[in-house]
Amino acid sequence: MPLSLPIDIDAIKGFLAEDEAEALLHFAREQAGNGPLLEVGSYCGKSTLYLAAACREAGSVVYAVDHHIGSEEHQLGEMFHDPELYNAQEGIFDTFNEFRRNLRTAGLTDYVVPLVAPSSVCARHWQTPLAMVFIDGGHSLEAALEDYRCWAAHLQRGGILAIHDLFPNPEEGGQAPIAVYRLALASGLFEAVSRVNSLGVLRRI
């Protein structure tokens, strides 16, 4: 079933390719009936809308974890800095207003629980089992490892762990996400299910 929303999702700021988005939607639809979903790294909400649309169909919710002040590469003077998302008055990169506007326009606010804090803070007292976790947060090794360690343990058996920006070669992109992907596989707790572009999908055994 194709995704139909009252918003031009291709116009939303973000770094999710079309084939990756379709795969994310597919697995979200598979899992949303089994429990809540969670993503780390919402940015302006492009991936959130795909997850939330699946949750609407199943009557579930997606927890959207993001401090909304951008990763290292989004800061002033860095490669992926977007001046339209920079709050010059406060001197911070800020994606939260854009994120909320996109949820409202898409009519999906009732299916998203924004958690505006780092993974470590959100996970500190977390007890809810999750049906799917999508990791697309900071790309430093420290940040990527923290996201994995905070949330992978909360996946139900049979649940999906999806990790974005897997680049086998350093010249293609940062190596932290694929290092975490390999760590998950080596743990013996996950099996590989699918690779679509730079999106890796694992299932909790």
Secondary structure letter of residue 85 according to DSSP: G
| Exposure letters 134-165 (e unless 16+ CB within 10 A, then b) | bbbbbbeeebbebbbebbbebbeeebbbbbbb
Helix (H, G, I), strand (E, B) or coil at 19: helix
By the 8 A CB rule, do 28 and 58 touch? no
List residues with catalytic annotation: 139
Beta-carbon-side half-sphere exposure of residue 47 (alpha carbons within 13 Å)? 31
The CA radius of gyration of the chain, in Å to the nearest whole number, is 16
Instruction: Give the CA diameter of the chain.
Output: 48
By the 8 A CB rule, do 161 and 154 touch? no
Return the closest-CA partner of residue 52 out of 140, 113, 131, 115. 113
